[in-house]
Amino acid sequence: WTDSSEWNFLHKFHLLEAEEHFCCGRYSEAKVSYDKAIFLSKEHKFINDEALACELAGYFAYETGEETAALDYLARAHENYNKWGAVAKSK
């Protein structure tokens, strides 16, 4: 079933991969994986997962000195949490 429904979990795989890369100091690989997770979440309309991926990418960007990118990611996370209905999370 994984072959026929890869779209259902691949974004989660990339998010976990991004976190592993970040923790291990492989920052360029982490950025690519965060962006893949965000893209796939958006493409398949997983708003909650897109919000989480944007939030974690924002923390990553901030920790690696990319303040402008961090603000962009976190703004997208805030927007998606609101769309999803997680208003308390977006405050």
Q: What is the pLDDT of residues 52-91, one digit of tens each?
A: 999 999 999 999 999 999 999 999 999 999 999 999 987 7
pLDDT for residue 14: 97
pLDDT tens digits, 20-62: 999 999 999 999 999 999 999 999 999 999 999 999 999 999 9
Reported in sequence order, the residue ranges of 1-91 that DSSP labels E, i.e. its strands, are none
Residue linked to tokens 């974690």: 56
Between CA 5 and CA 22 the distance in angstroms is 27
